[in-house]
Chain A
């Protein structure tokens, strides 16, 4: 399918990256406070701070620093973390799978919750069932993520002891078990966003003529729902889901902290507070890649579901 389209889109990502990198490079350097002071704490003498900045190459002019950064980047080298003194690539390699696991897990749980409930709400629209589903998710949407996280932890983790309190585990099965509560936290938030859109699209499709036609043909309502209604109603939702993957990774910052998950969200927060420039740059680049890829995949799925959408 549309191989040339995919290749063109992938190539378009490159200038986007360069622009993102330049902006991030300049932004982190505009922030008050330098990495040397951040690592050395406020006790260090001016002399030691100066020496550390020199060792890190941060005393050189900005264009030179950017040049070095791009040159290293082209060689696949993102530099070393200033505070942890290990390669950024290795750090991201260790932490990214965890966050991706959590994101996919949360997206799956979110969709698994959202679709049946949206269908139910749409079919029973304007009844108490519909009102209840919408009300619950409205409340869920307005609660802060950390609050939901802590409530789930205290109830299902500490009080009932069904799930471990934080951590990540070693095997795939353990990951599923350990990440259930954080994925549920993020999934609930996502489901809250999806339910409303999906419900409205389903209602819209249900009143369309071709659904009446299908019904007249004598097709069973379950078949109609899956083959005709859902397929069409999902188009808008897929786009929304794609857009929300970025937000999901952002939400992981909080969940990773509360649930003690060693992912890139927490790494980013630590790097910003520690002014760890190479880590901030490396992670921004990684996020840019992921978000671009997710958008591309969203577009492809959208095209698959809706033949009217042109890939050009």
Chain B
């Protein structure tokens, strides 16, 4: 036996041991998670905010589920699905023996009822994701979705929180005259089929989820998940307090760590500072219309100017200043974790000479003054905009910062009464269609109120919404991303991760790029 072979064997043994360790998940115990704010309303259809969305999947399960890397979907309550050749129907097969957290059976009838409720245009803000469904039939363990037209986004839509399966009987038995009232009563003590069930909720203070003994998914040890007995969410709005509590061992995880403190926590030997890849893109939205609301001429209607502002923004410097090096430059309007993101997109690398040339080619050779809406109290907004003031000063653009509280900022922006505003976006669904309808398609909300309109993009998008051939759909999205980049209706800034600080004992916790916090496979190492 030569040395090389020996080392190869020892490597193999070491690898086997590592795998063995990965299987040795510890069962039991409570994990305490520090959240910056409490959930509002735990109904999958009528909820509105990330505060609800990001934990709903622990309580309610969906037919399919997003994968942890954000790139696709995997089986959930449905073990498989098949799409008809003409793309006009989809059949889903439920796993055998599915149960809700109270022990009652989860049937195809519950699935039909839940999806019908979710796609009702009168209910909630999310029904459009299931708009292609014309009718649903349920029989045995099969559910058939009949479609108005082929819909490539449907698997991702079925893996999204609003398509969660709820117990029809329990919901309809809840007190209340109509769906909205019943939802209020039911969401107070929700019963779903997710890995956990809500056991206690003291609003503004804490929430406890107990393990659902009837959960279908198995752990690496062959027994039912989740590993943990319970998860406790503590509401701690102040960033510093959340970090102190984690350092004192009163929490095992703390979310929304300020990016300014990431480096310090990375150096802390007791803490595993994790930056989960996200779908979050940070950009500046520009008003693309020829005139502003007050009737004055808007320089941002000139694509040369918009491109110039993009080239004159030094992303690498901004990433250092605002995100402390944790971000990466945006190359497309969608994040690099979004399916069908085109890795070949060049984005707008910093190029001052090009920016100056573009300004010279525009009507505004001598520069102009520009006003940007910022969120008051946001240190990030101020750091970003004061840096941009200097960068844009180099091409003769004078930037004025107007600070407003979030609700006022939204009101101004909804009324198209702005020239520029800071903005961030995260996807709710594992498909590029959502951000595209908002950012690039005029008809929804005027391309996030920028007023940008491209007939070509509108046409390509409409086609892509029915294109079942994956390669063709990818090509359509590649084109949309290129057209958008050329028109530059927004200032491309950077993508940022989800910063979660964890005790070194925490294993198997995931925050997926959509933001969902997954505790099903999480455990505390002894």
Interface residues of A (CB under 8 A from B): 31-34, 37-46, 48-49, 55, 80, 83-86, 91, 94-95, 150, 153-154, 157-158, 161, 164-168, 257-260, 262, 266-267, 270, 273-275
| A95-B204 contact, Cβ under 8 Å, with A33-B410, A86-B184, A275-B407 | yes
Q: State whether A33 touches B407 (Cβ < 8 A).
A: yes
Contact call A43/B202, Cβ cutoff below 8 A: no
Contacts A166-B241, A273-B406; A94 near B203 (Cβ below 8 A): yes
CB contact list, B202-250 vs A, under 8 A? 202-205, 234-238, 240-241, 244-245, 247-248, 250
Contact A150 B240 (CB under 8 A): yes
A258 to chain B, nearest CB (A): 5
Instruction: Please tell me if the beta carbons of A257 and B248 are within 8 angstroms of each other in the complex.
Output: no
Q: How far is the CB of B285 from chain A (nearest CB, A)?
A: 10
* A residues less than 8 Å from B297 (CB atoms): none
Taking a contact as CB atoms under 8 Å apart, the answer to whether B125 and A44 are in contact is: yes
- A259 CB, min distance to chain B CBs, angstroms: 7
Complex: A55 Cα to B180 Cα, angstroms: 10
Q: What 1/0 mask marks residues of chain B from 434 to 445 whose CB sits below 8 Å from any chain A CB?
A: 000010000011
Give the residues in chain A near B102, CB-CB below 8 Å: none
Nearest to B41 among chain A residues (CB) is A85
CA distance A80 to B181 in the complex (A): 12
Select one of A39, A83, A85, A270 contacting B184, CB under 8 A: A85
**Count of B interface residues, CB-CB < 8 Å:** 41
By a CB distance below 8 angstroms, the chain A residues around B202 are 94, 262
> 6 closest Cβ contacts across the A-B interface?
A33-B407, A262-B205, A262-B204, A33-B411, A260-B236, A32-B408
Answer whether residue B400 sits at the interface, using C-beta atoms and an 8 A cutoff. Answer: no
Residues of chain B in range 22-57 having any CB-CB distance to chain A below 8 Å: 37, 40-41, 48-49
Give, as a whole number of angstroms, the nearest-CB distance from B442 to chain A.
12
Residues of chain A contacted by B240 (CB below 8 angstroms): 150, 153, 258
- Known contacts: A150-B240, A259-B241, A260-B236. The answer to whether A32 contacts B407 by CB under 8 A is yes
Q: Mark B177-208, 1 if CB is under 8 A from A, else 0.
A: 00010001001100000000000001111000
Q: Are B408 and A33 in contact (CB under 8 A)?
A: yes
B407 x A258 contact (CB < 8 A): no
User: Contact between A31 and B408 (Cβ–Cβ < 8 Å)?
Assistant: yes
Q: Which of A83, A85, A164, A258 has the most CB of B within 10 A?
A: A85
A39–B410 touching, CB < 8 Å? no
**Which residues of chain B in 157-189 are interfacial with respect to chain A, using CB atoms and an 8 Å cutoff?**
180, 184, 187-188
Q: A33-B407, A40-B125 are in contact. Are A83 and B41 (CB under 8 A)?
A: yes
Give bound CA distance, A258 to B244, whole Å: 11
Q: Which of B49, B237, B245, B409 contacts A266 (CB 8 A)?
A: B237
Please tell me if B412 contacts chain A, counting CB pairs below 8 Å: yes
Selected A-B contacts with CB under 8 Å, 27 pairs: A32-B411, A33-B405, A33-B406, A37-B410, A38-B406, A40-B48, A40-B125, A41-B49, A42-B410, A44-B125, A45-B444, A55-B180, A83-B49, A86-B203, A94-B204, A150-B240, A154-B244, A158-B244, A158-B248, A257-B238, A258-B240, A259-B241, A260-B234, A260-B235, A267-B204, A270-B37, A275-B407
Most buried by B among A34, A84, A94: A84
Q: Enumerate chain B residues within 8 angstroms of A37, measured Cβ to Cβ.
A: 407, 410-411, 414
Residues from 408 to 464 in B contacting A, C-beta threshold 8 Å: 408-414, 423, 438, 444-445, 448
Chain B residues near A158 (CB, 8 Å)?
A: 244, 247-248
Residue of A nearest to B202 (CB): A262
User: A289 CB to closest chain B CB, in angstroms?
Assistant: 21
Q: In the assembly, what is the distance between CA of A84 and CA of B445, in Å?
A: 26
**Contact flags B309-325 to A (C-beta < 8 A → 1, else 0):** 00000000000000000
List B residues at the A interface (Cβ < 8 Å).
Answer: 37, 40-41, 48-49, 125, 180, 184, 187-188, 202-205, 234-238, 240-241, 244-245, 247-248, 250, 405-414, 423, 438, 444-445, 448
B410–A84 CB distance below 8 A = no
| Cβ contact within 8 Å between A48 and B203 | no
Contacts of B234 in A (CB 8 A): 167, 260
A270 to B235, CA, bound (A): 13
| Docked-complex contact A42 and B238, CB < 8 angstroms | no
Contacts A31-B408, A165-B248; is A42 near B414 (CB within 8 Å)? Answer: yes
Residue of A nearest to B42 (CB): A85
Question: Do B438 and A166 touch across chains, with their CB atoms under 8 A apart?
Answer: no
CB-defined contacts of B237 to chain A, threshold 8 Å: 257, 260, 266
Docked Cα-Cα span, A39 to B37, in Å, equals 14
Q: Which residues of A contact B448 (CB under 8 A)?
A: 42-43
What's the least CB distance linking A257 to chain B, in Å? 5
Given the complex of chains A and B, what is the CA–CA distance between A273 and B49 in angstroms? 14
Contact B204 A166 (CB under 8 A): no
B244 near A38 with CB under 8 A, answer: no
Whole-angstrom distance between the Cβ of B129 and the nearest chain A Cβ:
13
Q: Given A164-B250, A168-B205, 6 other A-B contacts at CB below 8 A?
A: A31-B408, A32-B412, A41-B49, A166-B245, A260-B234, A260-B235
| Contact residue among A31, A46, A161, A267 (Cβ-Cβ distance under 8 Å from B248) | A161
Query: Do A42 and B413 have beta carbons less than 8 Å apart?
Result: yes
Given A85-B41, A165-B241, A165-B245, verify A273-B405 contact (CB < 8 Å).
Answer: yes
Closest to A258 in B: B238
Closest A residue to B407 by CB, please name it: A33
Which residues of chain A come closer than 8 Å to B409, judged between CB atoms? 33
A37 to B, closest residue via Cβ:
B410
Closest beta carbon of chain B to A224's beta carbon, Å = 47
A157 touches B248 (CB 8 A): yes
Taking CB atoms, residues of chain B closer than 8 Å to A85 are 40-41, 184, 187
Among B244, B412, B445, contact of A46 (Cβ-Cβ < 8 Å): B445
A113 to chain B, nearest CB (A): 24
Residues of B within 8 A of A42 (CB): 410, 413-414, 423, 448
* Chain B residues near A94 (CB-CB < 8 A): 202-204
